[in-house]
Amino acid sequence: MQNLTVKAVSPRSLSVIIKVCVVIPFFCIFLCCIAVMLHIFASHRQFLDTSRYILFASMLINDIAQLLVSVLLFFLDMAQVKLALVYCFPLLSISIATFQNTPLILATMSLERYVAIIYPLQCPPAWRSDRIWIIILSLWLLSCICTITECSIGQQKNAVDILYIPVVCSDAFVNTSANQMFFKAVVNILCFAVVAVIILFTYVRILLETRKLRQDRTSVSKAMHTVLLHGFQLLLCMLAFTIPITESLIVLHANWLIEDIAFFNFFCFILIPRFLSPLIYGFRDQTFRSYIGKTLLCCSNRIKKPSVKSNNLFST
């Protein structure tokens, strides 16, 4: 009987170990890269005084918050840990708010490039580096309001008792009412449609501006490429909406377990896009890329110096 139980348990435990070993390296590499970028941002005044880099730093913080919560929920699911709704709701609220905040930040970054090109000498006060924080806080406030509204329009029967019932901490299990699903679909469709229109509008306007300007075409072309990059980042975010399609395709053409399908969607459509989006933007920027190289070089030199000293001591 003991051998039978070991055989029954070992396949799932092996699957959990493999999934954790796949997620942890990606997550650690992401955290290290984001930590380096935020250190560079906070250590140099030129980044703190530029609206573009302030928005980029806010995107990094937003992505860190979402990935931290997403990976935590993933580990809870792998360990089959159930939480009371009073503890689960804050985690889900952060996850939903940061997901909705990402396209809003991308739209704001595209508008910032548009303002920098169209009004190079007379920048509107709201887009200056000392006031851009107001726009960033407004985006967070809007995302939080949408999230709180979505969580509050669910079924309210015996709300006090329900808050302390352990459940699987997942949006698919918690926010299941028809009103919540309808509200979430409407908000997501409107949000991503408006952001797509803003990115397309800014790209077309900057493209038209290149035909008028005879000088400084390099900065305008860089702005065009930046806006295109924001469009690509938006497509990466929208990959999360393809999860129901991939689930149905996998069920039809493969005999996968439910947890394996969920892990595939989490890794391909949530983890990897969040991993690629800030790294592509950060390493593409020449100024940021040069500072990243200098920071990594300094870290490698600090690691090598103690070993050199120890060798000298042994040689004497």
Q: Which residues contact 92 (CB under 8 A, 6 or more apart)?
A: 73, 151, 169, 170, 171, 174, 175
More confident residue, 34 or 12: 34
Backbone angles phi, psi at 154, to 5 degrees: -80, -175
Residue 273 above 70 pLDDT? yes
CATH topology of domain 15-293: Rhopdopsin 7-helix transmembrane proteins (1.20.1070)
* Average pLDDT value for the chain: 79
The answer on pLDDT for 151 being more than 70 is yes
Mean pLDDT of 13-39: 86
Question: For residue 34, which of 18, 58, 13, 16 has the smallest C-alpha distance?
Answer: 58
Give pLDDT tens digits for 177-208. Answer: 778 888 888 888 888 889 989 988 988 888 88
Radius of gyration of the chain (CA): 23
Q: Is the pLDDT of residue 291 over 70?
A: yes
- The reported pLDDT for the residue numbered 217 is 65
Amino acid (one-letter) located at 99: F
Instruction: Tell me: pLDDT of 300 over 80.
Output: no
Amino acid at 169: C
Position 170 confidence tier, pLDDT thresholds 50, 70, 90: confident
**213: confidence class by pLDDT, cuts 50, 70, 90:** low
Quickly state the pLDDT bin for 314 (edges 50, 70, 90). Answer: very low
Looking at residue 301, what is its pLDDT?
Answer: 66
Q: Using CB atoms within 10 Å of the CB of residue 217, give its burial: 0 to 12 exposed, 13 to 18 middle, 19+ buried.
A: exposed
> What is the SS3 string spanning 232-261?
HHHHHHHHHHHHHHHHHHHHHHCCCCHHHH
How high is the pLDDT of residue 2?
46
Q: Report angle CA 245, 246, 251 to the nearest 5 degrees.
A: 105
305 has pLDDT over 60: no
This prediction's pTM:
0.83
Q: Residue 232: is its pLDDT beyond 90?
A: no
At residue 58, does pLDDT exceed 80? yes
Q: How far apart are CA 200 and CA 202, in angstroms?
A: 6
Residue 157 backbone phi and psi in degrees, to 5: -75, 130
Whether 306 shows a pLDDT value over 60: the answer reads: no
